[in-house]
Structure formats: C-alpha cells, structure tokens
Amino acid sequence: MSDDKHKARMVSKKAVMDAKIANATEERGVLILLKGNGKGKSSSAFGTMARSVGHGKKCAVIQFIKGRSETGEYKLFRDHDLIDWHVMGHGFTWETQDKQQDISAAKKAWALAETLLQDDRYDMLVFDELSYMFKYEYLDVGPVVAALSKRPKDQNVIITGRTMALELQNIADTISVVQDERHAFRQGVKAQKGIEY
Ligand code: ATP
Ligand code: MG
C-alpha cells in the first residue's frame, strides 16, 4: 500500500474512533463476566483488579470455590491495604463431595458478597467462581441479580466461571468468553506454580 493510501485509511479510521469515543460519555461502574472453558478468567479478573489498585482503588475478592491452598495472587495481594481477600469455599466440589457443607459455604460467601454490594467504599469486587453456585444450585440467582442491580453506581464487579447463568448475562455490561483451543495439561504438562496457581 502506498504511503498516501495508508494515511487516508488512518484518517478515516481516526474519524470513526473519535466518533465512538465522543459517544461514550457515561461514567459508572460495570458488571464484567468472564466465562468459557479456556485458561485466563481468574487471572484476567485479578489483573484488572491490580490495575484498579494501581490507581488507589479499594477492592475485595471473594473466592466461592477454594482451589489450591495458596495461590501466587493470594500471596501477593493478601496483605495489600487496598485489598480484602476472602476465601470462602472448602475445596474443589468434586473433592468435598459434601453437598450440605458446600451449600452452607456458598450461603456464607453470598452473605458477605451482599454486604460488600451495599458498601460504596469498595470500587471493585471480584467474585471468583460465583457462577458455579448456580450451576450446582447452591444459590438462587434472583437475589444475586437484585443485589447487583442496586449496588453503588460507581462500583465495578467482575464474576468468573466457566458457565454463566443467563440472568447474569442479561444484566452484564461486558462479557468475554475465554475459549479453550489448547491446554498444556492435555499434553501431559503438570499444573505449575506461577502459571496455574
Ligand atoms: P486462570 O486462573 O489460570 O486464569 P481460569 O480461571 O480461566 O484460569 P478455571 O476454570 O478457574 O480457569 O480453572 C482453574 C485452573 O484450571 C487453572 O489452574 C487453569 O490453568 C486450569 N485450566 C483452565 N482451563 C483449563 C483447560 N481448558 N484445561 C485444563 N486446565 C485448565
Ligand atoms: Mg478461575
């Protein structure tokens, strides 16, 4: 492509982008859903939280399912002044195999989440693996939708999980699907510190 042609293309692209930017004027918190079977949902959520913290914003994490004992992100963030980190689950659901125990952990985690959703001191809340609570019917989605809908105007919420309840998708501002194309695990690579946890 000639330099002139390239320049003309960029000028028209800039005009389109400028118009889009001029159109987006609203300032408010957003609900972000990160779903899909690929690797990268929780790490994206914590990456976005790190971005907020970098700007001095107050954040809280609730892990509805406890994975490995101590993840790198937990070790890095737990003592940060701007972050409250709550691990509420007992372990992988297929490891606990105790439905009543899981339900009571889910209810306890949700009670905390509901409190945070009424607290405008928090700029960002990350509900990691909240979506499984509906899949396994540990929680009703109705009260969750209601609490999200009446949260403080500027509060951002990120929810992760492979599957997402339709009711959450209906009220979300941003939904990203992390697609699984390949994963090292299936080629026999062991879960690694610093990559998986
Ligand atoms: P991450 O925490 O790395 O961002 P994730 O939140 O997208 O991953 P989860 O469904 O929460 O993924 O699964 C958590 C763990 O399972 C991580 O250790 C991740 O590497 C691993 N994992 C994620 N997707 C896959 C997959 N498609 N196959 C095998 N393991 C996976
Ligand atoms: Mg995850």
User: pLDDT tens for residues 85-109?
Assistant: 999 877 666 666 788 888 898 999 9
Task: Please work out whether the CB of residue 43 comes within 6 Å of at least one atom of ligand 1.
Answer: yes
- Does residue 109 lie in a domain region? yes
Q: How far apart (Å, rounded) are the C-alpha atoms in residues 5 and 7?
A: 5
- Does residue 174 lie in a domain region? yes
Asked whether 132 and 161 are in contact (CB, 8 A), the reply is yes
Which ligand 1 atom sits closest to the C-alpha of 41?
Answer: 7
- Does residue 155 lie in a domain region? yes
Count of CB atoms within 10 A of residue 58's CB?
A: 17
- Does residue 43 lie in a domain region? yes
pLDDT tops 70 at residue 136? yes
The boundaries of the domain holding residue 129 are 28-187
Count of CB atoms within 10 A of residue 106's CB?
A: 22
For ligand 1, atom 27, name the residue with the nearest CA: 38
What confidence category does residue 55 fall into, taking pLDDT thresholds of 50, 70 and 90?
A: very high
pLDDT tops 70 at residue 49? yes
Q: How far, in Å, from the CA of 175 to the mean position of ligand 2?
A: 15
Domain count, the chain: 1
- Does residue 23 lie in a domain region? no
CATH number of the domain enclosing 33: 3.40.50.300
Report the pLDDT value the prediction gives residue 94, as an integer from 0 to 100.
66
The tens digit of pLDDT for each residue in 1-39 reads 788 888 888 888 888 888 888 888 899 999 999 999 999
Report the pLDDT value the prediction gives residue 91, as an integer from 0 to 100.
62
- Does residue 11 lie in a domain region? no
**Tokens 């003309």 — which residue?**
8
Report the pLDDT value the prediction gives residue 123, as an integer from 0 to 100.
98
Task: Please work out whether the CB of residue 136 comes within 6 Å of at least one atom of ligand 1.
Answer: no
Task: Please work out whether the CB of residue 185 comes within 6 Å of at least one atom of ligand 1.
Answer: yes
pLDDT tops 70 at residue 52? yes
For ligand 1, atom 31, name the residue with the nearest CA: 39
Average pLDDT of the chain?
Answer: 93
The structure tokens listed for 59 are 């954040």
Count of CB atoms within 10 A of residue 41's CB?
A: 24
- Does residue 114 lie in a domain region? yes
Task: Please work out whether the CB of residue 180 comes within 6 Å of at least one atom of ligand 1.
Answer: yes
- Does residue 106 lie in a domain region? yes
What confidence category does residue 75 fall into, taking pLDDT thresholds of 50, 70 and 90?
A: very high
Can you list the alpha helix ranges (DSSP code H) found in 136-192?
A: 141-149, 166-171
